[in-house]
Amino acid sequence: MKIRIPKIVLDFSTRLYLWTTVLILVTFGGIAFMFHTYGMEREEEIGQRYTGLLLNDLAHKINERIITVENTLKHHEPFLVAQLDHPDSLMSVVRKWALSDSLIAGGALAFEPYYYPDKGEYFMPYVTRTLGNKPVAKYLGGKEYDYFNMDWYMHAKEQREPVWSEPYYDDGGGDVMMVTYAIPLFDENGNVFAVMTADMSLESFSKDVSTLSPYPGSYSFVLSRDGTFIYHPKRNLILNETIFSFADSIQSESTRQFGHDMLAGKTGYDHRLLRGEETLVNYTTLGRTGWSVGTVSPYEEVIKHIGTITTYTMMVLLVGLIILLVVLRYVIKRSTRSLDDLTKAAYRIARGDFSAPLPHVSGNDSMRTLTDAIDHMQQSLAEYVSTLKQSTVDQARIQSELDIAHGIQKNTIPRTFPTTAGGDGIDVYAMLRTSRNIGGDFYDFMIADGVFHFCIGTVSGDGGVSTSLLMTAIRSVFRSAISSEQMPEVTIKAMADVLRDSPQADVRSTVFVGALNLSTGILTYANASHNAPLLVRPDGMTEFLPGSSALPLGVDVMEECRPTSVQLEVGARMVFFTDGIINATNGGGAAYTDYTLYHMVTIIMANYPHLTARELLTRIDRSVKDHMGGEEQKRDQALMTFTYSGRSQTHK
């Protein structure tokens, strides 16, 4: 057994409230998303700048220390040269620069082999500080301390210029982790005869780096020129691992990449994923040594403030949204109360209760116009129904109902047509020929504020009075739209609402709504599945008016009806028609078709280019009748045509 789910029908105010609520929610959600996204970007940028400033300050401090050590050593170089002839006095000279500044952990003067023959192959006066900051002087050199093969000695000798060594642990010398600044000394022949050094302990350097923690969970590290860790919170990495071997151990390609960037001397920041955690990595270089210093901060700590701000903002938006929706519900209910009452009255009228009271509407807006139109319709229907009740025979009653429907259909359409003689700049003519079965074809037009408003369409249903009532209601919406200056697509949407709220099932309508500015010639229109009209240009070229069509009015599927605009030239003609024209059949069952109409209009305009709107319509109608050849008309037939001649400048 198939279970049928009842269809939920919502009134206009509820649907308006729901759609407005959805729009507000989407708007508020978009604002919150944009605020959060932009806030995160700004917070990341601020975090990068803040960490960058701290890094630059640390780099500046380290560079100052390095420059101090370099200047101290260079300052004592002349004193050393003056004492070269007295090798036993060199220890006192070394003591002077080794103890002249707290940044210097030790100093030495290492000579080439047998520079002083009586001193032997190795001769290296060396002064350092103990843990108690007491000076210790000793001579180094020998198999256990072969300084000839140490990096600081070899690099200074080979490069023939002052150099900073890579970090190393000075086993047998200062017995601490240090770096050495070495200056080569040259004899008269330009040969290096000794290397003058100053050692700088990395302990104080490491303390400065370890204190660089911009955010909770941040840590800093320093790389040597070849990528070896000089400092890292994990002590086992220092001097034992490079950043590349570390990247391999944690399988992080991003770590390897910014390691390359750091060794390339770049300065900047990067948002990377390290060990599955989002981080912000800032790095810079120490220009004089070629070392790099970097800081890794948890990304969630960098953007933590924006999360708090977003939470408070969302709370404010939520409270504001609730208040807005409550106020909106009240305003919509109050504003649409008259429309709800009018809809209920229209339902009662559609069910045959022509004495149903209409709501009182104050003001002079579109609602008042619609109420007056329905009141007029109600009175007209009451008169027709009164006449219908006088029929005593069932056949007469049926015929009377058809007569009423025909009367409503014909009596409500315009019978006076504007011509160019009136000064409005347009010549209009239309005709409606009803069939035995009411199909609900209609047309309407009105000139208001220099704009020619018009519509043509078909209402299909069970026939009879109800179809004519719906046709009249649609025309009332059209008239109401003119007074409120609605666009054609909005008018069609209002017509669709009328049909959707109709108690009749399977009621459909096609309609074409347009507005022609008589001063500019701009035609704006919207088409709800109606036949595309013909446009005849002043040069005689005929074409179907372009523009996509929406679904017919009355279907459950909602589809947006898009407006289209076209510029009409002076002398342009338009021909509008309903299905009854192009589906008119002859004795052989052949339809007239829209292409037959297209060729007929083309031929007529080629032979009679100066026809009035009435003459053109008459010739088209005669062509349709000739095609039918006396066959019975099965559908309503409606034709409307106009010629745009440009509005007179003196017409008001």
Q: Kindly state the average pLDDT of the residues 356-369.
A: 70
Residue at 579: amino acid letter: D
Checking if the pLDDT of 398 tops 70, the result is: no
> Are 371 and 423 within one domain?
no
| 185-206: pLDDT as tens digits | 998 898 999 999 998 887 767 7
0.75 exceeded by pTM: no
Candidate from 5-19, 36-50, 269-283, 492-506 with smallest mean pLDDT: 5-19
> Are 411 and 475 within one domain?
yes
632 found inside a domain:
yes
Exposed, middle or buried, 19 (CB in 10 Å: 0-12/13-18/19+)? exposed
> Are 386 and 424 within one domain?
no
Q: Kindly state the average pLDDT of the residues 613-630.
A: 94
- Residue 186 sits in a domain of what CATH number? 3.30.450.20
Checking if the pLDDT of 467 tops 90, the result is: no
| 286-323: pLDDT as tens digits | 766 778 888 888 878 777 766 677 677 777 878 887 88
The count of domains in the chain is 3
Would you place residue 396 in the very low, low, confident or very high pLDDT band (cuts 50, 70, 90)?
Answer: very low
113 found inside a domain:
yes
| Nearest in space to 72 (alpha carbons), one of 97, 94, 43, 91 | 97
- Structure-block tokens of residue 537: 């240009």
**Are 645 and 426 contacting, i.e. CB atoms less than 8 angstroms apart?**
yes
Candidate from 40-49, 139-148, 423-432 with smallest mean pLDDT: 40-49
> Are 552 and 421 within one domain?
yes
Kindly report the average pLDDT of the chain as a whole number: 81
> Are 374 and 494 within one domain?
no
Q: Kindly state the average pLDDT of the residues 475-501.
A: 84
116 found inside a domain:
yes
Would you call 242 helix, strand, or coil by DSSP?
strand
Would you place residue 392 in the very low, low, confident or very high pLDDT band (cuts 50, 70, 90)?
Answer: very low
pLDDT, position 47: 74
Residue where a domain stops, chosen among 177, 204, 231: 204
Q: Which domain holds residue 475?
A: 397-644
Number of other CB atoms surrounding residue 619 within 10 Å: 17
pLDDT, position 393: 47
Checking if the pLDDT of 275 tops 50, the result is: yes
Number of other CB atoms surrounding residue 241 within 10 Å: 18
> Are 367 and 429 within one domain?
no
- Half-sphere exposure at residue 227, Cβ-oriented, CA atoms within 13 angstroms: 17
237 found inside a domain:
no
- Residue 553 sits in a domain of what CATH number? 3.60.40.10
| 445-462: pLDDT as tens digits | 999 888 999 999 988 765
| Nearest in space to 50 (alpha carbons), one of 308, 295, 259 | 295
493 found inside a domain:
yes
pLDDT, position 613: 94
Q: Tell me how far apart the alpha carbons of residues 65 and 241 are, in angstroms, rounded to a whole number.
A: 26
Residue where a domain stops, chosen among 189, 204, 219: 204
More confident call, 47 vs 431? 431
Strand order in the sheet with 219-223: 229-231, 219-223, 291-298, 277-286, 268-274
438 found inside a domain:
yes
Q: Kindly state the average pLDDT of the residues 25-48.
A: 76
DSSP element (H, E) containing 201: strand 192-201
148 found inside a domain:
yes
More confident call, 262 vs 5? 262
Q: Tell me how far apart the alpha carbons of residues 356 and 348 are, in angstroms, rounded to a whole number.
A: 6
Checking if the pLDDT of 465 tops 70, the result is: no
More confident call, 636 vs 498? 636
DSSP class of residue 166 equals P
> Are 384 and 474 within one domain?
no
Q: Tell me how far apart the alpha carbons of residues 541 and 422 are, in angstroms, rounded to a whole number.
A: 27
pLDDT, position 504: 66
Q: Tell me how far apart the alpha carbons of residues 124 and 19 are, in angstroms, rounded to a whole number.
A: 90
The separation between CA 171 and the C-alpha centre of its own chain, rounded to angstroms, equals 64
Q: Tell me how far apart the alpha carbons of residues 186 and 122 are, in angstroms, rounded to a whole number.
A: 18
| 171-183: pLDDT as tens digits | 666 567 788 899 9
CA distances 330 to 5, 21, 361, 626, 635, Å, are 31, 13, 19, 61, 47
Checking if the pLDDT of 395 tops 60, the result is: no
pLDDT, position 542: 94
Alpha-helical (H) ranges within 83-164 are 90-98, 151-159
pLDDT, position 388: 60
pLDDT, position 576: 96
Residue where a domain stops, chosen among 375, 390, 405: 390
- Half-sphere exposure at residue 392, Cβ-oriented, CA atoms within 13 angstroms: 0
> Are 408 and 527 within one domain?
yes
> Are 462 and 447 within one domain?
yes
> Are 378 and 408 within one domain?
no
Q: Kindly state the average pLDDT of the residues 349-372.
A: 71
Bridge partners, residue 576, by sequence: 640
pLDDT, position 5: 65
291 found inside a domain:
no
> Are 485 and 384 within one domain?
no
pLDDT, position 649: 46
- Structure-block tokens of residue 153: 């000695």
> Are 488 and 356 within one domain?
no
Checking if the pLDDT of 137 tops 60, the result is: yes
pLDDT, position 363: 64
